[in-house]
Structure 1
């Protein structure tokens, strides 16, 4: 072999070794430092994932939303042998009779429109805007209580327990949104309509007395929440008992 052929053969051998090394490096497993490790989602996980569905509700009734700036210019009185309360309601709202729970009886059936002379003689009543349906809209309820034992805080606790039992059938939708020493805010699905409802309660005691003798509540749709809160707070600012 000539000297030139020997040089060419040596060069080919060296190139072959280099190429083999490169191929061997390429097929080796590698690690890369790419910052913090991140989980990779499985394409077909062997463990099922529990995806919670959004609660389903029946649609709300079609009626204008409760505005948060209603004038509370109408004044009424509600009383029993324990206390007399004066309170304010939105101007122009219609008063309806509301029978207390059984076994109590009442002379005027629930949802009967009250005459002006009947309003201040009721122990419990409901106010709604004129023309609103009796179910599914917003309202304000006022009741005087024959309560000589429970203070305001006890009334809050009792209402929570009672509401939880009442809403057992729709427990997944029931929630206590807020609780204070004198009030509680609920969210739930009303049956049988299955509509989402917001219902806020508060209790009052005559100054100097421990027992709660006035209960007030508001109820409405999710769209009414700002107006419900405003009405709830302004009622408390104006209520006066003796």
Structure 2
């Protein structure tokens, strides 16, 4: 009987300990896993992202990021076209097949504008900068750490939304309770409508000391419809 009581006390103590982790502590542990040497703030590197979608040809994007110098470059190769967006601090340039002279028709066809380039810059910097980017100004990290089973696995979950000037979506980040690796994220435009998407992360690719998700598979929240997969590789590899 005495041993049963001791085991029960031990079990309850561990459950309680697991439940009392704060959102900030969980985020710090996740960042320690993905960026153990605090490399993100000084990142100067490049990587490829191969996008595969069910009803379209593959798209290969090569991303170069130098955070200290505020430099970002995205080169996209799809079918027979190659086009780039480059941001050197506040200066934006674009090109198509190596030329900065782009017709209005081609600019419209490839959405080759600095506005579009800025959106892609924010997109890639945000997603491949996670979970470190959750520390950015304008991010509202909810205090509660939720426990949720998703696709048959139990996760520790952080809820995040943003100041209006930053964004309007609600995000959930799912972390392995043992390693604190980020394995799923999910966003809603309007959670009451179950819109938005969830993204399953698998594998790791190390870029300049940062453990980034190797593959990201995208699905709609509302019906689990598969949208596509991004595959990360080192720059120069396809």
Give the structure-2-normalised TM-score. 0.32
Give the structure-1-normalised TM-score. 0.31
Higher strand share: 2
Higher-Rg structure is 1
